[in-house]
Structures are given as structure tokens and as C-alpha cells.
Amino acid sequence: MEKGSNHAKIIFHIDMNAFFCSVACIKNPELRGKAFAIGRENSTKGVLSTASYEARKYGIHSAMPQNEAMKLLPGLIIIQPNFNDYKYYHHKFVDLIKEYTDLIEVASIDELYADMTEASKKRHPLVIAKEIQERLLGEYKLPCSIGIAPTLFLAKMGSDIKKPLGVTVIRKREVSKILYPLSVSDIFGIGKKTWPRLIENGIKTIGDFMDINNKDKIIDLIGINSYEYATNAINGKSSDVVEPNRYADSKSISESETYDIPKVLIEDCALELRKMIRSVVNKMKKYKYFTKTVTITLRDSTFNTITRQRSLNEYTDDLIYINDIAMELLEDNFIDGKDYRLLGIGVSNLLTKEELPLEHNLFNISDKLEKENEINKMIKEFQSKYGDKALFIKKNEK
């Protein structure tokens, strides 16, 4: 991909276009060309999972309250989700890509990353991409968009640029030309509560975000961790490793919970995650691990799963710090009105005290342990008087 380099990876991000709607059209061809959405039939409650491209012309979109969508288009057709069908076509999609490479990382039911570096030594990546598009459409009637880039982040950005049935190549040297004109809201990983603050403060495009003159303003708005992660990723300085077993890494600790009665309030999700965080941190301390990556997982009643992670500035086993990062990720990615049936929290990039970089010397570690021991002592004393849930949820928390 990168001129003058023999080491750049060729990563595909393959994103199915309006996947649930595409599957609905396969099962009911009469829906093709019509404005419809996936939601609750014979109801005005809940939120939409997705909408056909015809419905999107009216401003209807995923995560929109169903009653609001019906006001925009009173004749909107609502189709009940069919999870068995989605799973069936998901497996067809994945199996087809496996014909090209074994290095596949499934991101959700309708998207995946594929390392096509080896396959591209024999055939041009654009030829492969077009063939994949044509086969998915011809064999299964599933349209998709594909981003091709040297990193996972840039490939993901590329697949979002042209929908439906787009193919976008992003080379590092072309980032400013392709990405800078886009809205700052298009930066993958920037939360729905973060980008409006940026726009309100004059950071409207990715070019504005990357302008060094705006650095201090942006850090004040979103923090240095988010700023450094995003700027590095946009510049092509992020992972180029497709890991089929990313979440099966033995050097990670995670917990998740599936709920028969879904969680619909952010307060309830926060409470559940905080319980898991304490358990995860206790396991870290048991095995004397320190982490540099915190991950949360949210899965709604339509089986749409999102996984968001944050890299930390330093290795830590600090309960309060890990909890704060997880709560920031939850706040940025929680969607009001959705029914969440699975929540999860994980830590990875784990090192023991002996494996830590030199700057994490024993004096620093001792200070942190002493501080946290005092905090944990105070929490236990407080909870012994007021109950286990005390201190882990605030009445005014949004």
C-alpha cells in the first residue's frame, strides 16, 4: 500500500450495507426499493435497529426512537428483527472472506477486518475487493462497502466514506486529502457526546482536529488520552494487526453478564459495570498484573455488539482510574432507548510488576498501592454502614 515500503500491511474493513434491511429484502423481495426500518412491529415504542436507504432519505436512521421515525414518515414500514436469519447470513459472509485469508477479525455481526497482505501479492487489492463485493451481492444479495488501508483504523474510516457498494483506498500519504475535509463526527471512536462539543467550539472537520494550533483547545475538551489516540490513528500510527483471537488472549482479564431483562438506563449499566470492574481489578491484584488498556462491550437486543477500548498513558492497577476510564467509554457510547442485554469490561496488555517499564519504579508503585489501600478501606467502611451499592451510583448520574 505504501510507496517505497515493503512492510506496509493491506487491511480490508468490510462493512455490510444496512445488513438487517438487506436480509429482510432477501426473505421478502417486495421490500426492495421501499422505505422501511427494523424495529418493533405494531408498536411506537423502542428504537430502530437500522433503516433502508430509501427511509434514510427522510432523515430516519438507526437508534432513532420509533415514534419519531413514524412522525417523519407516517407510512414507514416496520419489520420485526429475525436473529436466526442474521446469524445465518453472517456466517455466509465470514465463510466467503475466509476463502481469501485466514486472518479475519470479526468486529460485529455485519463487519470484519481482513489482512489481505498475502493475497495482494498475487492480485491487486482493488481487484480482490471488487470481486468480494460482486460475490456477496451476486451469491447472497448482500451489498457491502470496503475500506483498504495499512491500519485497522484507516480501513474502518475508508469503508464509511462510500455507501452503499463503495471501495475506498486510504494510503498514509493521502490522509489529509481524503480525511481532512470530513466532519469531526466521522472520526472512528469519537463518542456521540464528544464530537458535538468539538463542533460547538469550532473544531468542525478532521482537518480542524489535526491543526496543531487547536491542540490545547481540543485537549481541554476531550482530554490528552483521547486526543493522542485519535491524532496518532489518523496519521496511520495505530495497529495493523488483525487478530482472529483478539479477545481470547490469555494476558487479559474480563467479565461480562447477559441479562434476561435488558438494561435501558445508563445508571443501571454503570452500576453493573462497576461491580464487574471491582471483580476484574481484584483478579489483577491477585496475579499482580498492571494494565494499559481498558475495554467495554455493549450488546443490544438486536445482537448489535460494540467494543470500545482506551489505551492509558501508563500501566496501572488503580481501581478508581480504571473505573473512570470505563465510565467515560460507557457515557460516550450508550444510546438512550436501546435495550442492552450484555455488558462487559476487560483489561489487557497486562504486565507483572517485574515486567513494567523502568519509569514505573518500586517507589511509584508503592505510592499507588498505599493510596488505593486507603481508598478501599474507606469504601469498605462506608459500605458496611450503608450497603454494597453505596458509592457506586449517583442519583444525578446521566
CB atoms within 10 A of CB 15: 23
Query: Which residue out of 54, 105, 111, 272 is catalytically annotated?
Result: 111
In DSSP terms, 289 is beta-bridged to: 352
CA distance 220 to 99: 47
Rama region for 270: left / alpha / beta (φ>0; ψ in -120 to 50; rest): alpha
Residue of 215, 158, 153 lying closest to 190 (CA atoms): 153
Given the C-alpha cell 460547538, which residue does it identify?
A: 200
Q: Give phi and psi for 320, each to the nearest 5.
A: -65, -45
Q: Is 228 a catalytic residue?
A: no
Give how far Cα 15 sits from Cα of 4, 49, 51, 111, 135, Å.
29, 16, 15, 4, 14
Q: Give phi and psi for 225, each to the nearest 5.
A: -60, -50
Q: Which helix (DSSP H) or strand (DSSP E) does residue 79 occupy?
A: strand 77-79
Task: Render 324-343 in DSSP notation, one character per residue.
Answer: HHHHHHHHHH--TT--EEEE
Contact 343, 277 (CB under 8 A): no
Contact 194, 222 (CB under 8 A): yes
Contact 85, 105 (CB under 8 A): no
Catalytic residues: 111
